[in-house]
Structure 1
Amino acid sequence: MPPVASLSSTTSNEPSRTPMHGNAALWRRRVAAWLARHLVAPPKNLVGAGQLPASGIQRILVCRPNHRLGNTLLLTPLLVEIERRFPGAEVDLLSAGPAAHSVFRGFDIVGDCMTLDRRAARRPLATIGALRKLRSRRYDLVIDAAAGSSSGRIASAMAKARFQLRTDAMPNEGPVTHLAARPVQALRWALGARGEGEVPLLDVRLTDAERRCGQDALTRVLRDANERGLPVMAIFPNATGSKRLPTDWWSDFANELLARIGDVCIVELVSADGQSRLGGGYPTYYTSDPRKLASFIEAAGTYISADCGVMHLAAATNATTVGLFGPTDPGRYAPYGRNNAAIACDDGCPQKAAMRVAAHLQRVRRAQ
């Protein structure tokens, strides 16, 4: 069975759904797309199917200039694949968010992690400095890892490389491909090895010391709340924009879920605003460090939230991860992994969503 998330939904024919990040972001993407079409010349080093050599690739640049935690984590399967295909290579990364340094810390193959500001036009000196640094190096391979990303296309076109691979150069075949799998499949396509084995899982590569710290933090948080040693479930009741579910929805969901799965100790993961969205009735945990949060979630063992970056962080651990999906497309964004699931909640009924989540968790328990 391929390591893709399962999908539970209320209907068999769902309309196509796309992320909603606001009108300003939409216009920025349109401007960047226009620049990419009109100012970037067609590259002469672009590789097609089977045209990338399997040896002689030592220096690699991966371009994914996106500030979102989830999109950063979706690159980890590509890094695992590069390790396997080119074990002696070094990979530089071009990102656009502060989380990249933390997320990729566990990968020995990562050399330099260059970061563009998410509002590059407002910080021209920093942007020019990063792009000059990019232009000063020579690579054997540059990978534009985000299909349809104009900023990624511009950055990869500026890099000096013998070979350039664009994820969107690979033909679309079959159903929608998960965003974690598509760069891996594109690399295999360029090597002439498409369809060769399962795509690697998301992996933040926690160390043993980090796992111990996560377990210690969980024990500290639950010191007076879990004397019976019940299974632990971490819930992050927050997300951005239209993906965010109301506080009342979450309270009804938690109550129904507990009624269906029995004794479980819930821990609420609190967002940066410090506000509880589960009514303050459960122990809480907050950290601004993605790796500390990942180790805490793994120690808990089960994680539930709407579609968000923390959901992908949980999927990059050994925790069973459940994502609740409304406006976004689970075919592209579901929590990646065998025991993980995307559960539809677009009908607005927390009780029905809890019923579907409970059914999935019970299946996972029976299989263990």
Structure 2
Amino acid sequence: MPRTTGIRALIRPLRQALRRRISRWITRCCGTPHPRTGPLPAPGRILVCQSNSRLGNTLLLIPLLQGLADRYPHARIDVVIKGCVHGSLLQSLPGIGHVHELPARGAAPRAMLKLIRELRRLHYDLAVEANSLSTTNRILLAGCGASHRLGFAGPDQCLRLTHAVALPSVASHSALQLLHLLTALPGRAPASQPTLAVYPDAPTRARAETRLRRALGSIPANRPVIGFFTRATGNKQLPNAWWQQWRAALHAGGDPPLLIEIVPPGGLPVHADQAAVSTTDLMELAALLARLDVFVSADCGPMHLAAAAGIPVVGLFRATPASRFAPLGNDCISLDEPLHPVVVARETVWRYDRRRDTRRSA
């Protein structure tokens, strides 16, 4: 992301400070500075608002959505997200009704007004703020006309919420922070160990299998397949030389695994002879990832998608805290700096050996 320079760099912190001061004044007058609980009739329609457009943040909504569906099994849960491409991943979850697309930044204000009118027409019983730092989320909650509103209390919470919790420690996992919202609602406490899940249908799984076999050829029954993704954003991305050393360490053993690289559309693999696969269909990608034995990636959306697909994940963290963004799933691990390629390869081998032993004993 380019750095802001010149006059704008001087004005920006002043504008942010002014916005915080105004927000805190509004909060003291009519907002929700402190946690609040109370009775809530079983809602028939629930709206969850998440204005962040990143794939990982969309996936980290899943434990909250699962918790709401478990607590209110007869409710229809709608979601507002930015970017309709992620909608299919949430649409497969139990209890999910419609996924509304938030207008892109710079879209005409009438697009936002049209969305708010549509939300008001649906008469939601409960609206949930899933991003405590988003002005857009607060506009949606204020405008949707829901009977009850759930979010995070605090000195900057300028909305009047009917149910609110204090934001947990900033060191706690992002998905666990969202799941903590449910403690403000009547009913049993949510699970303390959230997991991710997506549910590709049979035709999607068949397309993914075809794509994988086209990239790898025939796959021996006992030969592990390891997937990896190198294209994280910004400082999270590891250099190609690191991945080359990691590949070499994996091939140094007597029975090297099959490797498949997940590349963005139009991207090139890390090495000319590396088998690679690409798809723009995220549900198909989830089905493809579910077919692998282990997935290795820096902190990014595909890392969380692999965890949701139910396979062991080795997450590599160098610019973001693993405590907040670790992959959530069985046999997933997060490794922090220093990330030595040989050590990461050893962790990868240990996980696919365990996966293979489990399959043999099944």
Q: TM-score normalized by structure 2?
A: 0.82
Residues 1:92 and 1:283: Cα distance change in structure 2 (over 3 Å): same
In structure 2, the partner of 1:211 is 205
Selected match of 2:262 from 269, 282, 286: 269
1:241 aligns with 2:234: yes
Gaps of at least 5 residues in structure 1 are: 1-20
In structure 1, the partner of 2:54 is 68
Shift of 1:200: 4.1
1:259 aligns with 2:252: yes
Within a 5 Å distance, the mapping from 1:167-316 to structure 2 comes to 167=152, 169-171=164-166, 176-191=171-186, 193-194=188-189, 196-223=190-217, 226=219, 230-259=223-252, 262-276=255-269, 278-316=270-308
Residues 1:360 and 1:148: Cα distance change in structure 2 (over 3 Å): farther
The 2-side partners of 1:340 and 1:287 are apart by 24
Within a 5 Å distance, the mapping from 1:86-105 to structure 2 comes to 86-105=72-91
Within a 5 Å distance, the mapping from 1:35-114 to structure 2 comes to 37=23, 48=35, 50-53=37-40, 55-114=41-100
The 2-side partners of 1:293 and 1:33 are apart by 44
- What is the count of residue pairs matched by the alignment? 340
Within a 5 Å distance, the mapping from 1:121-200 to structure 2 comes to 121-167=106-152, 169-171=164-166, 176-191=171-186, 193-194=188-189, 196-200=190-194
Shift of 1:110: 2.3
Runs (4+) of structure 1 exceeding 6 A deviation are: 38-47
Moved more, 212-221 or 356-365: 356-365
Say which SS state the counterpart of residue 314 (structure 2) adopts. Answer: strand
Shift of 1:302: 1.6
Amino acid at match of 2:291: A
Within a 5 Å distance, the mapping from 1:311-322 to structure 2 comes to 311-322=303-314
Residues 1:186 and 1:22: Cα distance change in structure 2 (over 3 Å): farther
Are the aligned partners of 1:339 and 1:364 in contact in 2 as well (CA < 8 Å)? no
Gaps of at least 5 residues in structure 2 are: 154-163
Residues 1:167 and 1:284: Cα distance change in structure 2 (over 3 Å): same
The 1-side partners of 2:255 and 2:310 are apart by 22
Larger relative contact order (Cα-Cα within 8 Å, sequence gap ≥ 6): 1
Amino acid at match of 2:213: T
The 2-side partners of 1:33 and 1:51 are apart by 33
Are the aligned partners of 1:322 and 1:341 in contact in 2 as well (CA < 8 Å)? yes
Amino acid at match of 1:218: L
Q: TM-score normalized by structure 1?
A: 0.80
Residues 1:241 and 1:174: Cα distance change in structure 2 (over 3 Å): closer
